[in-house]
Amino acid sequence: MTDTKQTITLVLGASENPGRTSYTAIKQLLKSGYKVIAVGAKKGMVHDIEITTEHPKNENIDTVTLYIRPEIQNKMLSEIIELKPRRIIFNPGTENELLENEAIRQGILCERACTLVLLSLQQY
């Protein structure tokens, strides 16, 4: 199991709207001890985490968890791959064979799963 204190998760599609799943994911990741970087369409805040509109550079991203449609993912495919995360989680509705195939070619683990379920089962 990965040491959560050193693990950074990028939430792509972050929202400060409490009704959005990405908002809940940020809260639960923080509660479980993970460091979070949040990128969304609009700037905002979720607790103490700033939502930025810019992709992080030179961060040690362990996991990218997706909350954006495949069409949007395709526009930022190279930026996602360049992060060289250990894994990408395709939450329900974000499945994308183009990104998944490229990630696998680059040695990135891909999971079609739900971040919230993985956290609740302590299998994140």
For residue 79, give the CATH number of its domain: 3.40.50.720
Stated as kind and residue range, the H or E segment containing 103 is: helix 97-105
So what's the pLDDT on residue 4? 52
Q: Could you tell me the residue range of the domain that residue 10 belongs to?
A: 4-120
Q: CA 70 to CA 35: how far, in whole Å?
A: 25
So what's the pLDDT on residue 41? 95
For the chain, what is the domain count? Answer: 1
So what's the pLDDT on residue 36? 96
Q: Which residue has the tokens 């954006």?
A: 68
So what's the pLDDT on residue 1? 43
So what's the pLDDT on residue 86? 96
The ranges of the chain with pLDDT < 50 are 1-2
Collapsed DSSP state (helix, strand, coil) of residue 29:
helix
So what's the pLDDT on residue 11? 98
